[in-house]
Amino acid sequence: MGKVRIPILTEAQEKSLRHGYEDGKGKSFRKRCHMVLLKSQGYTSKQITAILGGCQVVVNTWLDRFEAEGVEGLRNKPGQGKKPILDATSDRERIDEAVKNNRQQLKLARVEAQEALDKEFSLKTLKRFLKKTAVDINVSANARAMRPMRKNMPTK
């Protein structure tokens, strides 16, 4: 069995790790802060994985990042994570056209949009995209502008 690495923390580091663990914005960041705090208390990587889940290599990787970059090294860097398949700015027009052509059959709209965009995506992805970029395609902008405003509506 190897030697247990115990990072020596300054008061400021410990305070910022505790703050990150208790009040950090993301779940992953809080978990990483907790890992480093547990390591500083003498826990082994094996014990930490039993407490928090994951694997020992991950614990040691985050400890390395902490030692190299400090508490900020435990945060996700910009651009990490899976990129979206459909882009609201570049793909919206073709998807709208496909949906308008096949209003009642999203499966056909998906096939048409896939061919137009030369991308593969699921029906669920299409639905999620439409919901995220929700625009009522049944009502034109002129019709919406012509609707009378409802004033003095009774409240329950």
Per-residue pLDDT reduced to its tens digit, 36-94: 999 999 999 999 999 998 899 999 999 999 999 999 999 988 887 788 899 888 999 99
Distances (CA, A) of 113 to 13, 64, 87, 118: 51, 45, 13, 8
Cα(51)–Cα(142) distance, integer angstroms: 59
pLDDT above 70 (res 122): yes
Kindly report the pTM of this predicted structure: 0.56
Cα(70)–Cα(40) distance, integer angstroms: 14
Same domain, 69 and 19: yes
Degrees to nearest 5, angle at CA 27 with 49 and 129: 125
Q: What is the pLDDT of residues 93-109, one digit of tens each?
A: 999 999 999 988 999 99
Same domain, 20 and 67: yes
Helices 56-69 and 45-52 sit at what angle, rounded to 10 degrees?
110
Do 109 and 99 meet the contact criterion of CB atoms below 8 Å apart?
yes
Do 119 and 86 meet the contact criterion of CB atoms below 8 Å apart?
yes
Is 149 within a domain?
Answer: no
- Give me 32's structure tokens: 């990483």
Could you tell me the residue range of the domain that residue 50 belongs to? 11-74
Please say which residue of 56, 74, 92 terminates a domain: 74
Cα(113)–Cα(97) distance, integer angstroms: 8
Same domain, 63 and 102: no
